[in-house]
Amino acid sequence: MFDLMAIDGNNLIHSDRNHVFGSPSADFSARREGVVRLAEQMKGVLAERIVVVFDGRGDETQFAGGSSVVEVIFASENLTADGVIERMISKYEKPFQTLVISSDKAEARNIVAAGGQVMSCEVFLDQVSVILGNVQREIKKASSSMPPQTLGDFFPQR
């Protein structure tokens, strides 16, 4: 597990070939929220700390997709998400314990040069699909091995 995972949110949305975050014509803020919700599910599975960085102007305090589980950052007008992530990784105490989710090749080169690791958005989405599928199978398996509950289990007769 990584200490820090930084996700290039816009890059992930544009790499979403299976429309995990909604159709391309869907409201962009709803698609951003989908990225944040997916990231929340990966905290503690892929990384201890997750930061999602979006390009463009936005207000974290007004963002409907805000989260108490992952950090959401909007790049300032003079920076891109790539720049924010690259700075974050280069300043991180243990860059070898970081994972960046982005399919941007220039960003990937800079992250690797700083000592971080990179996973393409497509591979990340495939990995997440496998992880969530495994969780669903385990839940189903555990549920089927439990005897069915009856009302008497909750209200025993006297």
Give the DSSP H/E element, type plus range, for residue 52: strand 47-54
Give the DSSP H/E element, type plus range, for residue 48: strand 47-54
| Phi, psi dihedrals of residue 88, rounded to the nearest 5° | -60, -45
pLDDT tens sequence across 70-109: 999 999 888 899 999 999 999 999 999 999 999 999 999 9
Domains, the chain, in order of start with CATH, read: 2-143 (3.40.50)
Give the global pTM.
Answer: 0.82
User: Which pLDDT band holds residue 28 (cuts at 50, 70, 90)?
Assistant: confident
> Residue 13: pLDDT above 90?
yes
* Cα angle: 23, vertex 36, 116; to 5 degrees: 110
